[in-house]
Chain A
């Protein structure tokens, strides 16, 4: 390991690394020993069969020790990892990680695309949501926006007063008709001035 890197890596990790290095080396040595001496645990060699196929013989010769070596290696690694983890101070490692930078690297759009909104909604407790909403305050705000006077007037005015309205409109029409007739008889050119005068204007 380069010395320059030793300054940035915490000592706990360094020690764990060295220990693993040691353990692996010794384990590897054991494996190699096992390879050099074919053990009796592997596939049995049928003594009576004549050695006709050199390839098969070679395979048989290597197969058993290889399997043994693999088993040993697996067991060693399985034993190593928990021990290594026990020795490493994970807090120190984690505190060096900038979590914000990590999160910034996450592509949130892709994450959101992969989410199913319907399933999300299923998780939401709508009843609870409704209970949290202050319906009275909402209603009050809505009422302030509505001109209740106008609404009431419109609704009550339709209660049977359509006839009255129709009658009034008929009277207006009659007014107009009579005025037109009279004006024509009197040969007036201009229509009647029915708007009220403005304040201050001469009558």
Chain B
């Protein structure tokens, strides 16, 4: 264990600052790009079964942006909706939660994902926010906290069905 481990433990559950979140976001983008290329490769392979040509299926220019955006939204919504984590957040030990630390509902996860893709600049608000909140956090009453998986975080335990969760 590193020497800073006690400090890290003390910070669990506190809102994370812009550096951690930015790095997590960068990792997420990288992952999405990789997934995108994988999907294109798979699609190309499937088409190759029929056409006899094996190449990566690149979507036409116009559709490319929209597909990328959809992919990003799906990726983020899936991560945040399930247990508040995406790959980037897992690496950085962060978790997206509601304002009391409860899990995000899939609906809120989806809304958050859409808002980020549509209005990414809102992320920069973390820099000046007193509560380390992005604009999206303020709108949706969410937060991103340090959560390395110690103790009884809901990432470790079973999830109740989304509909049964109460909004506090």
Contacts and interface: CB of A to CB of B under 8 A. Distances in A.
Interface of A: 153, 158, 162, 164-169, 171-179, 182, 186, 188, 192-200, 203
Given A169-B8, A174-B17, A175-B19, A194 B131 contact: yes
Contacts of B168: 199-200
B17 to A, nearest CB: 3
Given A165-B2, A199-B168, A186 B92 contact: no
Interface of B is mostly: loop
A186 B131 contact: no
A165 B1 contact: yes
Nearest to A182: B127
Contact of B99 (A168, A194, A196): A196
Closest 9 pairs (CB-CB, A-B): A175-B17, A174-B19, A171-B20, A194-B14, A194-B15, A169-B4, A168-B93, A175-B19, A196-B101
Given A158-B1, A203-B141, 17 more contacts: A153-B149, A165-B1, A165-B5, A167-B91, A168-B93, A172-B20, A175-B18, A175-B19, A175-B132, A178-B127, A179-B17, A182-B127, A193-B130, A194-B14, A196-B14, A196-B101, A198-B100
Sort chain B's interface into a size bin. 35 or more
21 contacts: A158-B1, A162-B2, A165-B5, A168-B148, A169-B8, A172-B8, A172-B16, A172-B17, A172-B20, A174-B19, A175-B18, A175-B20, A175-B132, A178-B19, A182-B128, A192-B130, A193-B131, A194-B15, A194-B17, A195-B14, A196-B15
Interface of A is mostly: helix
Interface in B1-58: 1-2, 4-5, 7-8, 11, 13-20, 23
Contacts of A200: 168
